[in-house]
Structure 1
Amino acid sequence: MQRFRSWDGTDLGYRLVGSGPPLVCIPGGPGQAVEYLGELGGLSAHRTLVLLDNRGTGGSGVPADPATYRVDRIVEDVEALRRHLGLDRMDLFGHSASGGVCLLYAATYPRRLDSLVLVDPSLRVVDLQSDLGVAEVLALRAHEPWHAEAVAALHAEAGTPQELARYRWLSAPLLYGEWNAAARAQASAEPDQFAPPATDGFYAGFVPDPALPGRLAALPTPVLLVVGEYDIWPTRTAVRELAALLGDAELVVQPRAGHFPWVDDPSAFAATVERFLARGRTAGRAGR
């Protein structure tokens, strides 16, 4: 793992995986170590993945000020990483909660991005509902043998940490296109990947900026939005609402995928992202 000091002196770690042009990857959770991204379904065959552990997670240090766990403060870690890497402009990747980090980064540093890839992004920073049409999505899975138990667990209220862990496991099949060995392996590894202070601090005190949608509409950066057909947070209907806010957005709904489309169909996911990045790189060279 390689290291650098961020804007406030916090020591952050990142890994380089693969070969090719760099793709800076910010993990979600929130508060989850970057290891869950793996090699993004083989995207590492085409890109050097720069896999950042957010502050307080994985191999990164704990900040002196817990307020810096907040989503809008992590933006400055992304900028510090860009500067550390010596990149004038970069391709940026966010998943789930880090979709919010990346949207805020794009609005703050639009001239530092060549392209932006957001996979099943959280919509909280733009004050959009993530669960639009969730009942219809859940109905698509009604034939699954685990469906009734998973939906009940999804809506259950946990009284203890043990109950919460049990309900999360029972509802986990809803986050994948197929509840197979790969999905089970990822879901079973997740509990040890979370750092509670980073999770709890991510939205603590955060208030969406009503001016953000307008800034994103003027964003010159091409954006790829990938959402699983079966995802429930966010649903494909909700991500379409985000696409409508952006000036140059391509929306891809990956069939029979959930919240982790690189797990459900690695080759399809990697091909979608690489096609988009390659197109943007060609366009960027032509415009220089």
Structure 2
Amino acid sequence: MPHYTSYDGTQLAYRVLAARDGSAGPPLICLAGGPGRNAAYLGDLGGLDAHHTLVVPDSRGTGDSPPAADPGGYAFPGLAEDLEALRRHLDLGRFALLAHDAAAATAQAYAAAHPERLSRLILVSPGARLQGQLPEDAREIFESRADEPWWQEAYRAVQLLPDTTDLAEVRRLLLQAAPMAYGRWDEPQRAHARSEGEQLGPVARAGFWQGVDEAGRRAVLARLREVPCPVLVITGDRDAVTGTRAGEVVAESFPDGRARALHGVGHYPWVDDPDLFRQAVEDFLADRPARP
């Protein structure tokens, strides 16, 4: 894998999925969430590499990137500065950025610090922790699916996870709870979920939200009101992890933000319905009206 040198001299890894149609357009940089999860789970994001070159970095302590020398390097503002180093390495003036799940916080910190560098911003299945909100609709979505065969086992796992410290047990419980993150529980979703436990970096995960006080959080939110680029927030109406309301709250943080809930998909929309997800992203990147 290629590497780049970040602000503190650390060599961080990234992979490149060249556009399969030979397009020489600017790349779409894609950030993995988790937090602290190996970016391999993004795959090709439902075939987005058909017409776009994807650049997918491994954040510190995940994939082929080394752990942070300073625990503060795992916090999302520091990861945003890693992204800026990657931009310089790729010699991009402006670029489009896609971030999934917790990486939406990294992307928002980047947008607040470097608004002039973004041409488009796509946030997929974000939470609203940075906005200081925890909407209830994710729980409501979860409870609405109580008649599905996996639900009782997933419910028990969700109750046990917060107090579980043994890593092997955490991984087992994550797999039991996994169906709540997908629009349906078929083999593609099962295969995707089986990789989660081994892809999580516990130290990187624990450090992601550290070192950002209330004043810092509010400062980021204030600067988001000055981000000029268009912002699309994609959610799934069957996402029992972050729901759809959080995405609406995040979109409202930007002057040109819009939220779009995709029907029948969960927290990983490119797994549940790759064609629907890919079309939503491509329409936004090409500035085409959203299709029904």
Partner residue, 1:59: 64
Aligned equivalent of 2:126, options 121, 135, 139: 121
SS of the residue 2:130 aligns to: helix
* Aligned-residue offset at 1:102: 0.1
Cα distance in structure 2, aligned partners of 1:196 and 1:62: 11
Distance 1:117 1:143 in 2: 33
Partners of 1:14 and 1:165 in 2: how far apart?
A: 25
Give the residue type in structure 2 aligned to 1:41: G
In 2: Cα distance, 1:6 partner to 1:160 partner = 33
Q: 1:16: which partner in 2?
A: 16
3-state SS, counterpart of residue 182 of structure 1: helix
Q: Structure 2 unaligned runs (5+)?
A: none
Q: 2:103 aligns with which of 98, 101, 107?
A: 98
> Does the CA contact (< 8 Å) of 1:92 and 1:116 recur in 2?
yes
Distance 1:5 1:135, change over 3 A: closer
Mapping of residues 1-288 of structure 1, within 5 Å: 1-19=1-19, 20=23, 21=25, 22-129=27-134, 131-156=135-160, 157-158=163-164, 160-208=166-214, 209-279=217-287
Identical aligned residues as a percent: 41
Structure 1 residue 151: deviation in Å? Answer: 1.8
Give the whole-Å Cα distance in 1 for the aligned partners of 2:2 and 2:259.
33
Contact 1:98 1:122 in 2 (8 A): no
Partner-residue secondary structure (3-state), 2:9: coil
Q: Hey, what's the Cα distance between the residues in 2 that align with 1:275 and 1:159? A: 43
After superposition, the Cα gap between the structure-2 partners of 1:262 and 1:212, relative to the gap in structure 1 and judged at 3 Å, is same
Unaligned 5+ residue runs, structure 1?
281-288
Measured against aligned partners, the alpha-carbon deviations of 1:2-54 in whole angstroms (never above 9, x if no partner) come to: 11111101111111103133101111111111111000000110110001000
SS at match of 1:221: coil
Name the one with the larger helix percent: 1
SS at match of 1:136: helix
Distance 1:242 1:194 in 2: 25
- Counterpart CA distance in 2 for 1:13 and 1:135 is 36
The superposition leaves residues 231-283 of structure 1 with CA deviations (integer Å, 9 ceiling, x where unpaired) of: 13321022212222221112111111111000000011011001101118xxx
Give the length in aligned residue pairs. Answer: 279
Return the letter of the residue paired with 2:46: G
TM-score, normalised to structure 2, is 0.91
Task: Answer whether contact 1:132 1:238 (CA < 8 A) is retained.
Answer: no
